[in-house]
A and B are shown apart, each in its own frame.
Chain A
Amino acid sequence: METGTMLKTLQDPMGIPFYPLVFQVLMVLTFALHIMFVNFTIGTSALAVYGHLRKEENWKQLSKSMARAVSVNVSMAMLLGIAPLLFVQVVYDPFWYASNTLSAAWVMGFIIIMMVAYSSAYVFYLGREKREGKGFTFYGVLALALFLSAGIIMHVLGYQLLQPEKWLGWYIKGDAVNTSGTSLHAFQLPRFLHYIIPSFAMTGIFLMLYAWYFKNREDMDKGYLDWVGRIGAKTAFLFTAMQSVVGFWWLLSLPGEFKFLANPFFLVGLVLGIALLVFLYSARRDPVRYAIPSILGAFVTIFAMSYTREALRMKYLGRFNYSIFDYKLDIDWGSTALFLATFVMGLAIIGYLLSVAYKSGRVAGEYVATPSMNKWGSISIALLLIWIVLVAGLGVIISVRNYL
């Protein structure tokens, strides 16, 4: 069976319920958010372990904060990973499913690895709170190593996906098939590194944010915060520079036929990447002041790079005449509206929650909400109740119409 025909055969016959561009934008946007927290997770895990091994008081304190940050970062990474995982299956189903079933045992291994990694990260964080000492280093190192292994698995799945011409060769040996799912078939070092190196650059910016966030807290030591900010800015610049080298390495390893150097997505990503590097160079002078623009700039760059990655995928799969824009459409306005409305509502509610977290962390004692914050909270609760009433109402109408 010719590869292009195979891909068409594998596509879901139901079609997709909305325009592919919308799924693509959502997929790339949520992937960018996801990978940012993956980077934070790996970077803060590494820093937590490193600081734990150092003797200086500053490092000890930073390690403690980082260990706590890991638990939140990994949760966010998982949470934000769900959306791109969902959307990739909508528009790239043949590729995602084939790549996953070919390495099925590893796909399940990923879950086990993440469970152990996450639990170890918690033991590292909570265990040290109770008892001082180096005994918990093991759990920190284990968590970091497992987070990286999980990254390798995801990288392989994402890379196998791009090579449908090789799938049959991986699966079939003579007249028999390999159903064990225990092999990982494709790995590309520069591509993998391009996802991992930013962990340290992003964590550098994370530290700048940390210094910025706590600067007005009376119970925090100024010297310590300055130190954290400086380390952050230095790391952010250094690893962003390294990232650009790895980026070119990856670029050069791509098939020449893609002419990716002239790809507009790539060029936008490149310009933003260079701008970020220059910006971070200046940020070293005053990390606290540059913290917010740095994270915004970094996110815009990550988003552009994520779209570049998507453009690259379109190049890879275009070789087999696959385009998500040819997907059979079966538009469903009702469920699309349900999502969009819920999404907007969700932003308002999540905004409230994050504001409480933000404001409460900035004061040393108990945070007392302002009347406008209280109002925002009450509106959030009301929105949720309205959502339930509307959806239940819709359900009742449909049930009455269909069954009574």
Chain B
Amino acid sequence: MYPIWEVPNLTAGIILALIATFHILPSHLSVSAMWFNIYVETKAYKENRPELLEFIKKYSLLLLIFSYVLGSLSGIGIWYAATVANPRGISGLIHNYVWGWATEWVFFIIEVTGIFIYYYTLGKVDRKTHLKIGWIFAIGSWPTMVIIVGILSFMLSPGKWPQTGSFFDGFFNQTYWSQLFMRTTLMFGISAAYAIAAATRLKNEEVRKFITKTASMWGLAGIILGSVLFLWYLKTLPAHPQELIAILAPKTLKMGMMGAAGLLVLYFIYANIKPLTIRLVPAILAIVVLFGGIFSTERMREMIRKPYIISQYMYSNQIIGKDIPAKGVSAETKIINERGILRVSPFVPQGLRDINETNLLQAGKMIALIECLSCHTLNESGLRPLPKMIKRVGLQEVETAQGFLDGLGEYPYMPTFAGTAMEKKALATYLVSLNKQ
């Protein structure tokens, strides 16, 4: 266990979620936008319509700055946030998938050099060469998705990995293909929404009309196909997350997903019929709706992974809960139950390692910091605040609270309590004290 970072009212996990959600727009845009560019550029050359290149210039700059300035940084931001929010979780992923990420990095280099050169050489190299760069970028950026989907889906559905410990068994898991195709189609919805926004800045009405009409068709196809594939994705989920969707998923998230998809379909149809009436503000609003829909979906994906950060291996609170014999790793819960979480964790004040009547409350808080904070704030407000939850459950007595901790594992989304009997008492004492605040 590493030092804990406490973000009042939020939790570090929410910081991670916010950055990760933001990152979805630029990252999916980066994979899809160039296909649209190549289509338009090819048309411009074939039909001798140089005016279309004005759009290419605008859209590429948008792609460059949005995806490769804010997108790259937010991508690194996800990593940093994961590092400080859940270091052992990201470590577990890296120690399995380092070569996956390293492979993805090779494609990043192709993307970044590609987009700079594509943008800066437009009109400065012959058409064939410029299109070639476009093709290299378009084809070369899809593998970044091919790779990251393997690692992302592994966290929720590790496939045969828990038995074999093999890189590719975890990578090509049961939700891999459905998620890959869902993201691949949805990304065209994203690039279309951005293309329409970029088109509102064009002076030439004919071009604007053409771009908006074309983009709206791409967008419509992307959203509809993506939604259908989403249903397939739900079917491929293992039983446990399926069950959690039924129990946990709040109506707002479901509404968020379906509402966003519906609104976007209407928007694209409208854009197709009346392309010139779309101005910058509604075009940006459409992107906001898109963001809302994706946010809901990603939150759902995070939610149904509980109680794990890496399914079938590590709990959200970074304690390894399951043996992985193929990797020579044993669950830590056993040793923690025997020796105590405050004894095995390095970053614990010396005075709290042995619990007695005088330090019970402080030790209890330390345990809450280690075992609860990744999903619950210790403040009155914020993300799943412990004081509120304790009041709702009505824990008044230390004994009842201990009984509650004993039964924790029966909630399908909660890890079991890990620690000695004395530590359980300490945590129970702390929880009850929250009720009295």
Q: Which residues of A contact B (CB under 8 A)?
A: 1, 6, 9-10, 12-18, 23, 26, 72, 75-76, 78-79, 81-83, 85-87, 89-90, 93, 96-98, 100-102, 104-105, 107-108, 110-111, 114-115, 118-119, 122, 167-168, 171-172, 174-177, 179-181, 328, 330, 332, 334-336, 338-339, 342-343, 345-346, 349-350, 352-354, 356-357, 360, 366-369, 373-374, 377-378, 380-381, 384-385, 387-388, 391-392, 394-395, 398-399, 402-403
Residues in A with CB closer than 8 Å to B125 are 356, 360, 366-369
Compute how far the CA of A93 lies from the CA of B96 in the bound complex, rounded to whole angstroms.
Answer: 13
Compute how far the CA of A335 lies from the CA of B99 in the bound complex, rounded to whole angstroms.
Answer: 6
B60: CB under 8 A from chain A? no
Compute how far the CA of A281 lies from the CA of B10 in the bound complex, rounded to whole angstroms.
Answer: 56
Residues in B with CB closer than 8 Å to A354 are 113, 117
Kindly report which residue of chain A lies nearest to residue B353, judged by CB atoms: A1
Contact A175 B6 (CB under 8 A): no
Contact A82 B108 (CB under 8 A): yes
CB distance from B230 to the nearest CB of A (A): 19
Count of B residues near A, CB < 8 Å? 94
Contact B124 A75 (CB under 8 A): no
Q: Which residues of B contact A (CB under 8 A)?
A: 2-6, 12, 15, 19, 65, 68-70, 72-74, 76-77, 79-81, 83-84, 87-88, 90-92, 94-103, 105-110, 112-114, 116-117, 120-121, 123-126, 128-129, 132-133, 135-136, 139-140, 142-143, 146, 159-160, 165-169, 171-172, 174, 176-177, 320, 324, 327-329, 344, 346-352, 359, 362, 366, 369
For this complex, 12 residue pairs linking A to B, each with C-beta atoms less than 8 Å apart, are: A1-B346, A16-B95, A101-B5, A108-B80, A175-B351, A180-B6, A346-B110, A356-B133, A367-B124, A369-B129, A377-B132, A398-B168
CB distance from B351 to the nearest CB of A (A): 4
Compute how far the CA of A254 lies from the CA of B324 in the bound complex, rounded to whole angstroms.
Answer: 43
Contact A381 B132 (CB under 8 A): yes
Contact A82 B105 (CB under 8 A): yes
Contact B126 A75 (CB under 8 A): no
Contact A374 B129 (CB under 8 A): yes
Given contacts A114-B73, A398-B169, contact A97 B83 (CB under 8 A): yes
Kindly report which residue of chain A lies nearest to residue B120, judged by CB atoms: A357
Contact A111 B80 (CB under 8 A): yes
Given contacts A122-B69, A356-B125, A369-B126, contact A339 B103 (CB under 8 A): yes
Q: Which of B114, B126, B142, B165 has the most CB of A within 10 A?
A: B126
Residues in B with CB closer than 8 Å to A101 are 2-5, 83-84, 87
Compute how far the CA of A72 lies from the CA of B65 in the bound complex, rounded to whole angstroms.
Answer: 11
Contact B102 A98 (CB under 8 A): no
Residues in B with CB closer than 8 Å to A366 are 123-126
